[in-house]
Chain A
Amino acid sequence: MTEIRLRNIEKRFGDVTVIEGLDLTIHGREFFTFVGPSGCGKSTLLNLIAGLEDITSGEILFDGTDVSRLSPSERDVAMVFQSYALYPHMTVFENIAFPLRVRKRDEDTISSEVRRVAGLLGLEGLLTRLPRELSGGQRQRVALGRAIVRRPRVFLMDEPLSNLDARLRVDMRAELKKLHRELGITTVYVTHDQEEALSLSHRVAVLLDGRIQQVGPPAELFEKPATTFVATFIGSPSMNLLEGSIMERRPLRIGMDDIVVSPTGWDIKIQGKVILGIRPEDVVVSTEPLTDGFTAEVEVVEPVGSTVWVDIVRGGMRLRARMLKGMELEPGAQVFFRFDPAKFHLFDPSTERRL
């Protein structure tokens, strides 16, 4: 149930500022994720919350109490590492029991707690094995078991799924979600994989260069990206960003190269240049002429099973779009395309923020 508050957090390594003036509240019971490209400071942030590194300035509060100067064990947090960091010389049982042993719990409690956790994670048959005798997925579970066995105030997970193969990763996501629902412990999760972030979390913070770009529930990040970075980082394939200039504000008409589009639902104040974002799935491509459509040439066709993505070019404009099912296209073919006018995102080119 622990609420975590980060107040004006700053972290410097020598002259390099990794985290800058960060303010954030993570609610009790929440599954909260930091997502961002490598080097954005998300792992550092997790280590700061864990107490594995010291903050340069600011405050970290757990339920209103300042824990900034406490050691990891005093903060009562548990952490799952990317490499799992299982103790290679201990059996599965001893690995899970370790946090309890350090806290000098009696042997009966240890035994029953380890068995409870092993049951929860399906590890009953593996308790006498050593980590090197386990598969990647099993190691992952042991790492989770070691984290949950002592019911910590906060769970910290640093890219825990990134060493698993793609199939297992998706399975483990569902399990993590279930586990979180059962335990109800505040969880802070770090990943570079936006899909993982969206599918797991109550709320997500997108980090870039040590600053939060946007915080919100997954749907909000997807539907109303606050910056061009969030717009391109969240969602796969990436949102198309196009340059345009405002021709008329009411009704809105924006010119791009030799075409004009009319995004709906916007009331903007600025003039001149603007950045238009549109997701590939909101661009329709057809071999037949479309109303309000334009012509373009097919450059690359990329089938991915359920859908087919296609890169199209018109003059200096280059777009990725979704192709309707059942179409057969070759590179070089002439096609027609059309934007969904309600699905445009508009950004200020000078600040790269949403208008």
Chain B
Amino acid sequence: MKKTGTGDYLFILPSVVVFFVVTIYPLIYLLWLSLHRRHLIFDISRFVFLDNFLFLFTDPRFLTALKNTVYFTVVSVSLEITLGLVIALFLNNLTTGRGIVSAIVLVPWAVPTVVSAKMWEWLYNPDYGLFNYLLGVKVNWLGSPFWAMNAAIFMDVWKTTPFVALLLTAGLKLIPSELYHAARIDGAGRWYIFRRIVLPLLKPIILVVLLFRTIDAFRVFDAIYVLTGGGPAGTTETLSIYAYRILFQTLQFGYGSAIAMFIFMCVGLISIFYVSILQRGFR
């Protein structure tokens, strides 16, 4: 195309500046902080190199948070993909009222996570909650170490499955209907068509959705912070919540930044993992 005019670069300059100031510079700052012992109240700042990172793996609270985060991520993402696929297949077959159903399905995704967390906290209420009333039980969902994390997962599944379902529906729409017809004429059954035609063609989109969801789940904060605050007894404390507590409640900016840096690196590895699968698939 035309013109190697340097003026063309002015168009991306604002983005570059904003990205530099609000993402790159803070990230470098984060790395710097994570190599220091820094406390905001006592105004301490001392270079400790990798001490913070070494300490991570001897910190039982960090290890629990890591375990919680992985559990939350694996369980919620697998449930969301499965359930999302079922809803997507159903929506794709829906001939009338698809618009309205899609809009309804979008609502949980669109409301603030904080609102849905509060909503579910009330539903889970041990004394006056709707769940216990409808199930006729008296379970302290958010107060029991066993139930609390699963209750949080259940809420997250409710909130994000719609997003998954709608993206997968869009993916299903890209599969030409001739393909289904051809397969039917070739004598393939429903399940066979799903496994041999729909799933392979949907694979790239499933991977993209998995990428988004895994990263989102791994960095989960608001949902659990509002629902349980990390309790009871730290059984729902995730890495983001732990990092936040260390940073802004105990004001240990050095160690807190090391945890944040760890989360950043995990998310980076997760993305690289999925992107490499995606690229291999396209080759």
Stretch in contact with the other chain, from B1-9, B56-64, B84-92? B1-9
A53 interface residue per 8 A CB criterion = yes
Q: Mark B1-39, 1 if CB is under 8 A from A, else 0.
A: 111100000000000000000000000000000000000
Minimum Cβ distance to chain B for residue A183 (Å): 27
Number of A-B pairs, beta carbon distance below 8 Å:
11
Minimum Cβ distance to chain A for residue B116 (Å): 40
Minimum Cβ distance to chain A for residue B193 (Å): 38
Minimum Cβ distance to chain B for residue A102 (Å): 17
Complex CA gap A32/B162 in Å reads 61
Complex CA gap A72/B2 in Å reads 10
Q: Determine the chain B residues whose CB is within 8 A of the CB of A47 once the complex forms.
A: 2
Q: Determine the chain B residues whose CB is within 8 A of the CB of A282 once the complex forms.
A: none
Q: Determine the chain A residues whose CB is within 8 A of the CB of B3 once the complex forms.
A: 54, 71
Complex CA gap A47/B3 in Å reads 12
Interface size in chain A (residues, C-beta < 8 A): 7
Complex CA gap A72/B1 in Å reads 13
Q: Is the interface of B mostly helix, strand, loop or mixed?
A: loop
A52 interface residue per 8 A CB criterion = yes
Complex CA gap A53/B1 in Å reads 6
Q: Determine the chain B residues whose CB is within 8 A of the CB of A41 once the complex forms.
A: none
Complex CA gap A71/B2 in Å reads 9
- Interface residues in A201-217 by Cβ distance below 8 A to B read none
- Interface residues in A33-74 by Cβ distance below 8 A to B read 47, 51-54, 71-72
Complex CA gap A53/B4 in Å reads 9
9 tightest Cβ-Cβ pairs between the two chains A and B: A52-B2, A53-B2, A54-B2, A54-B3, A54-B4, A53-B1, A71-B3, A51-B2, A52-B1
Can you sample 11 A-B contacts with CB below 8 Å? A47-B2, A51-B2, A52-B1, A52-B2, A53-B1, A53-B2, A54-B2, A54-B3, A54-B4, A71-B3, A72-B2
Q: Determine the chain B residues whose CB is within 8 A of the CB of A52 once the complex forms.
A: 1-2
Q: Determine the chain B residues whose CB is within 8 A of the CB of A71 once the complex forms.
A: 3
Complex CA gap A52/B1 in Å reads 7
Closest residue to A71 on the B side, CB-wise?
B3
Minimum Cβ distance to chain B for residue A271 (Å): 51
Minimum Cβ distance to chain A for residue B10 (Å): 15
Minimum Cβ distance to chain A for residue B11 (Å): 16
Complex CA gap A51/B2 in Å reads 7
Closest residue to B4 on the A side, CB-wise?
A54
Minimum Cβ distance to chain B for residue A47 (Å): 8
Minimum Cβ distance to chain B for residue A165 (Å): 29
Closest residue to B5 on the A side, CB-wise?
A71
Complex CA gap A25/B254 in Å reads 72
Complex CA gap A51/B3 in Å reads 8
Complex CA gap A54/B4 in Å reads 8
Closest residue to B1 on the A side, CB-wise?
A53
Closest residue to A47 on the B side, CB-wise?
B2
Q: Mark A72-90, 1 if CB is under 8 A from B, else 0.
A: 1000000000000000000
Minimum Cβ distance to chain A for residue B201 (Å): 31
Complex CA gap A235/B3 in Å reads 39
Q: Determine the chain A residues whose CB is within 8 A of the CB of B4 once the complex forms.
A: 54
Minimum Cβ distance to chain B for residue A49 (Å): 12
Q: Determine the chain A residues whose CB is within 8 A of the CB of B1 once the complex forms.
A: 52-53
Complex CA gap A65/B4 in Å reads 22
> Told that A54-B3, A54-B4 touch, could you supply 9 new A-B pairs with CB distance under 8 A?
A47-B2, A51-B2, A52-B1, A52-B2, A53-B1, A53-B2, A54-B2, A71-B3, A72-B2
